């Protein structure tokens, strides 16, 4: 029965994350009095009507800068934060900075894709990714391999208000290994699936 309940928990988790995460970032915005958010600077999630607005930029945790197994873990999870941020904002500046040039998946699945969506004046709602680290080790001089299991939610890409350009399916738990380099900070050398 535990197996079953774990399954149910997971599926409810998936459906709730989408609504939870923008809420929590709203709350954190509200609790910082110094910025005095005017209604126009509040985060507005993307919808059928238009793309997300004022998407809060995720800050890199201090841990993610360290050359340790935990640092590599934290960095990899941060990469997923940036991916979700790119989905909302199509801003790939930071994710490009920490992705090495020959990282195929970094470019093909994220950076180039975001450029394309932006150029075509489309926007994506949903399709956010959630990752859990299942293995992390320093494998060489300035290299770490971090394996995650990730899922992604259903989503839609709109080409105009209420005009669905494409529907994104839910992705079931999939393992991915991140081959990272360290040079005054982590970068993604390669992302690889499990055969």
Name the residues that contact other proteins, by CB under 8 A: 1-4, 6-7, 10, 83, 86-87, 90, 104-105, 108-110, 113-114, 117, 124, 127, 129, 132, 134-135, 137-141, 143, 145, 147, 149-150, 152, 155, 157, 166, 168-177, 179, 189-195
CB 125 within 8 A of CB 110: no
Q: Tell me whether residue 6 or residue 160 sits nearer to other proteins (CB atom).
A: 6
Q: Which is nearer to other proteins, 29 or 177 (CB)?
A: 177
Q: How far is the CB of 106 from other proteins (least distance, A)?
A: 9
> Smallest Cα–Cα separation from 23: which of 71, 56, 64?
56
Minimum separation from the CB atom of position 38 to other proteins (A): 29
Which of 4/62 has CB closer to other proteins?
4
CB of 6 to other proteins, least distance (A): 6
Kindly state the smallest distance separating residue 35's Cβ from other proteins, in Å: 28
Nearer to other proteins, 7 or 27 (CB): 7
Exposed e or buried b per residue across 41-50, where buried means at least 16 C-beta atoms within 10 angstroms of its C-beta: eebbbbeeee
Say if residues 136 and 72 touch (Cβ distance below 8 Å): yes
23 sits in which H/E element: helix 2-30
CB of 114 to other proteins, least distance (A): 5
Tell me the C-alpha distance between 47 and 49, whole Å: 5
Q: Smallest Cα–Cα separation from 24: which of 52, 51, 45?
A: 45
Between 74 and 90, CB nearer to other proteins: 90
Q: Which residues contact 182 (CB under 8 A, 6 or more apart)?
A: 67, 142, 143, 144
């Amino acid at each position: 029965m535990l197996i079953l309940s774990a399954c149910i928990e997971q599926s409810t988790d998936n459906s709730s994350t989408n609504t939870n995460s923008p809420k929590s970032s709203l709350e954190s915005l509200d609790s910082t009095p110094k910025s005095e958010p005017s209604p126009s600077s509040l985060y507005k999630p993307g919808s059928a009507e238009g793309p997300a607005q004022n998407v809060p930029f995720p800050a890199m945790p201090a841990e993610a800068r360290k050359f340790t197994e935990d640092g590599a873990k934290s960095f990899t999870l941060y990469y997923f934060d940036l991916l979700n941020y790119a989905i909302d904002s199509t801003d790939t500046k930071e994710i490009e900075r920490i992705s090495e040039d020959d990282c195929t998946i970094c470019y093909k699945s994220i950076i180039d894709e975001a450029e394309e969506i932006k150029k075509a004046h489309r926007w994506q709602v949903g399709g956010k990714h959630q990752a859990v680290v299942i293995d992390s080790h320093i494998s060489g001089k300035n290299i770490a391999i971090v394996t995650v299991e990730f899922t992604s939610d259903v989503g839609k890409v709109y080409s105009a208000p209420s005009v669905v350009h494409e529907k994104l399916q839910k992705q079931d738990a999939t393992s991915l290994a991140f081959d990272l380099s360290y040079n005054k900070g982590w970068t993604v050398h390669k992302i690889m699936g499990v055969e």
